[in-house]
Structure 1
Amino acid sequence: MESSGKRQKKVSVGKQIDRLSGLPDDVLIHILSFLPTKLSVSTSILARRWRFLWAHVPNLDFDSQTHNTERSFADIINRVIMLRKVQSINTFRICCSDNCRVYKLETWLATAVAHNVQTLDLRFDYHVMFPRCIFTCETLVDLRFRGFLGYFSPGDIIRLTSLKKLHLTFDKYWYCDRNLPHLLSGCPVLEELIIDGVVDQYKHKYIISSPSIKRLMLNFQCNTYDSQSCAYRLVITAPSLRYFQLIDCFPGYILCERLSSLIEADVSFNNCKVVGEDYSYTLSVLGKLDVVSNVKSLKLSSGIVFNLSAFGDRSISFDNLTKLELDAHWLILTKFLEIANNLQVIILRKVDTRLKHWMEPKQVPKCLISHLTIIRIDGMGRTKQEFDMVRYLLRNALVLKKMEIFSGPNAIDFKQNLMRSREFLRFSVDLWHVSLLSFEIVWG
């Protein structure tokens, strides 16, 4: 005879099954729309009611890496498209690592376009030309393409009147100086543009012109050890731009009108191939910073030591900057204190101490006297340079209200060693002379 505990367990499991089966078909189809098509189709074996539910799912998601059956990847896509019953296609995604016949791809995409597809996600690990059949898809809202853009002829008509998001990924030169302006000209309501690319020895030129773009994200990587040969030119005309992200690994320059609508920027300079304090690369970085000098919030990451003399040759001011997130060495922090008079919040993600001494500004910056209220330091060590920096900020930030210091990993050892250090004792004495509403060191 079964125990009451086992009977209760069976009943509870049965209730869970009944609860799922009791949901309306529309709800079950909505749940299936979040699954890859392979998993969605596999639910057809659960029960008679589930046999064709997958055919009503408006999303199609195919990945060749999960394909392990005898039937070919192309045959599976053909069969799914043939058996589906829903009239519209919301999302169509293909991730393919093997060569696929061009005419098959164009047939699938033509079917998606004919069924008013809204999101296309096309990712190929080999060179696939940008499909011409989607050039005039007026229902497309979100397009992601990884492959080879190819060459657009002047006669190609591009009419993507609903496209708001465009994400392009490439690993080889793709006529960006000709194709990109042509492509963007056919996207009148585009709001977000993302470009991930590997730049080789060619002198690339990117022309980004759009009156509607609000978010622009560029990730330029270099596939050669001679980073100096990868210099590029970037021309931006985007009067509505509000957010700009640039991940940059080699020299280049940006030409654009003042981005008056820009509010937030995230810029990363990590040219590990530049040896020493390269003067030309420092000038290149300063020129790119000048482009985003109108922002209110700036996140800046740099893995290089800048040439000191280059800073004296270039004048930049960040009059609107109120929040700065920094992962760089002393010199950058010192410069921003001098050129950002309205700075209110400083977040130091990592303190780079490759320079031997804390570089104090020549005179107390205006932001310290009247605006800076919050300072946060992540991953602080216990070097003299770090304490010199913190002491300087505490002594001169007259309106400072809150300072937080996070020790990072190995918090217990850090705390014990820190408490015994001479610099911490001096630092504790200095705190008595500072009026703060909140001061906290977080161990770990």
Structure 2
Amino acid sequence: MALKSKSRYCAKDRIRELPVEVLRHILSFLPTKYAVRTSCLSSKWKNIWASVPILNFHHDYFSGDAGFSMFVERVLFMRDSSDIQRFSLCCRQIQDFSRVDGWIRTAIRRNVVELSISAIFDRLRIYELPKSLCICKSLMFLELLLNFTIKVPTSGCFPSLKYLCVMLFGMADKDSMNRLFSQCPVLEVLTIKTVSGIRHVVLDINISAPELKMLTIYLGRAGALHNLFVNAPKLENLNLCDSRLSNYIFENVKSLIKADIDLSDQFGIYDPGYVNRVTALLAGISHVKYLSAPSFEGCCLPAFDSLKHLELDLYDCNIFKSINELLKRSLNLEYLGANFNECIEEYLEHPWIQPNFVPNCLLSYLKTVSIRKFEGRQADMEVAKFLLKNSKVLNNITIATSDPQCAKKELYKEFCFLAISQLPIRVSPFASI
């Protein structure tokens, strides 16, 4: 018993004897409400919270708006003069935005590096952010998840901002948005998201960022077709999720390495303007090296001379013929991955159209093929056989079945006679891949 008490005392002693800098670092991982509560532990802990570099205020930790606002103001008033590394504010309701304005200004005066403001509640009101935010020299990370406008100057704007994440609402100020997206001289990462309430609002977004390296656009299930223009000469990574595929114009993005295109509404192919929009999108990103996308039926495909890695989502047996065009225009392709998703019923029996030529990439470059969600339909089999038979430098092929009843041995026999000597063929359930 005495030993147990002694060990407990030693454990407490170790924490108490930690340097103040370490204790301050530990508290920075807690919501500010709980960091403040540590002041009652001992005299040593009394004022440590007042110099924690990270402030995290979340409305859910409070029973009402008044208590939340009062707590934020007391913390900012009682802090010491040290800088604020990160200021994060999340609240469901703000009755008086002038108070939030004051909190943001305080963070700016304390040379804030990362600022995150989230107030998703009133879509009929636009809040004007303080002008001092635009010229804050210390700010490198900015996340704005609220209906806002900001008077962006024509020069000297966001001199250090490298990461920007913006949530667009139905009442978003378009001019303000475009000035913001085009006046960040060192911006490297940009994320733009919309919410469901913007369903019938058409956005015209102009992004011009000379140092931008990563762009993520999430338009979700927005009903409107938006217009987006992107000029980013150093763009390397593009992530695009758009339910209907809006109008995209990419200019000067020859540095693009990886693009991930997710079209959640696969029935967009029945939209009469869909083909033109896809054609414009692909033309703008044709220099990409790694591409993940659905197959694009009926579109005018550009030459993908730099493409090395291609991941395709196939939703329709009738679309299999688009593989021919993609392979034809991807002269240097080394890896092909294909997800054979569930076909639309009316196309289940649609035959595979045998190409009248073998694409150059199969003869000289294609080394790896990975087929997932394979169900063994006739069209599926013909596609796989064509790739296996005509890929002259292929050294690895994986076929993952989505049907647990699919006979693994039978599939293996089907392909084995076409294999190049000692070519490894792996046939397995999809879940194991």
TM (norm. structure 1) is: 0.85
* Alignment deviations for residues 321-347 of structure 1 (CA, whole Å, 9 cap, x no partner): 001122234344333212111110122
Map 1:332-351 to 2 at 5 A. 332-351=322-341
Q: Distance in 1 between matches of 2:154 and 2:101?
A: 16
Kindly indicate whether residue 429 of structure 2 is the aligned counterpart of residue 430 of structure 1: no
Kindly indicate whether residue 361 of structure 2 is the aligned counterpart of residue 367 of structure 1: yes
Matching residue of 1:236: 230
Q: Which stretch has the larger CA shift, 379-388 or 201-210?
A: 379-388
* Alignment deviations for residues 103-145 of structure 1 (CA, whole Å, 9 cap, x no partner): 1111111111110001000011134524124122111000000
8 Å contact from structure 1 (residues 37, 62) kept in 2 = yes
Matching residue of 2:135: 136
Map 1:224-373 to 2 at 5 A. 224=223, 230-271=224-265, 274=268, 277-301=270-294, 308=297, 310-311=298-299, 314-329=300-315, 330-354=320-344, 355-356=347-348, 357-373=351-367
8 Å contact from structure 2 (residues 221, 242) kept in 1 = no
| Residues 366/70 of structure 1: CA separation in 2 closer, same or farther (3 Å cut) | closer
| Residues 60/360 of structure 1: CA separation in 2 closer, same or farther (3 Å cut) | farther
Q: Distance in 2 between matches of 1:320 and 1:361?
A: 23
Q: Distance in 2 between matches of 1:58 and 1:160?
A: 21
8 Å contact from structure 1 (residues 244, 266) kept in 2 = yes
Matching residue of 2:187: 190
Q: Distance in 2 between matches of 1:42 and 1:36?
A: 10
Q: Which stretch has the larger CA shift, 317-326 or 34-43?
A: 34-43
- Shift of residue 260 of structure 1? 1.4
Q: Distance in 2 between matches of 1:407 and 1:13?
A: 56
- Shift of residue 277 of structure 1? 3.4
- Aligned-residue identity in percent: 28
- Shift of residue 407 of structure 1? 3.9
Matching residue of 2:213: 214
Kindly indicate whether residue 165 of structure 2 is the aligned counterpart of residue 167 of structure 1: yes
8 Å contact from structure 2 (residues 254, 285) kept in 1 = no
SS in 2 for 1:298: strand
- Shift of residue 440 of structure 1? 2.4
Residue type at the aligned position of 1:172: G
8 Å contact from structure 1 (residues 400, 436) kept in 2 = no
Kindly indicate whether residue 150 of structure 2 is the aligned counterpart of residue 148 of structure 1: no
- Shift of residue 442 of structure 1? 3.8
8 Å contact from structure 2 (residues 245, 263) kept in 1 = no
| Residues 156/99 of structure 1: CA separation in 2 closer, same or farther (3 Å cut) | farther
CA RMSD of aligned residues (A): 2.7
SS in 2 for 1:174: coil
- Shift of residue 96 of structure 1? 0.7
Gaps of 5+ in 2: none
TM (norm. structure 2) is: 0.87
SS in 1 for 2:338: strand
Matching residue of 2:38: 43
- Shift of residue 28 of structure 1? 1.4
Residue type at the aligned position of 2:361: C
8 Å contact from structure 1 (residues 130, 147) kept in 2 = no
Aligned residue pairs total 416
Residue type at the aligned position of 1:117: V
SS in 2 for 1:48: coil
Residue type at the aligned position of 1:124: A
Residue type at the aligned position of 1:366: N
Q: Distance in 2 between matches of 1:9 and 1:378?
A: 57
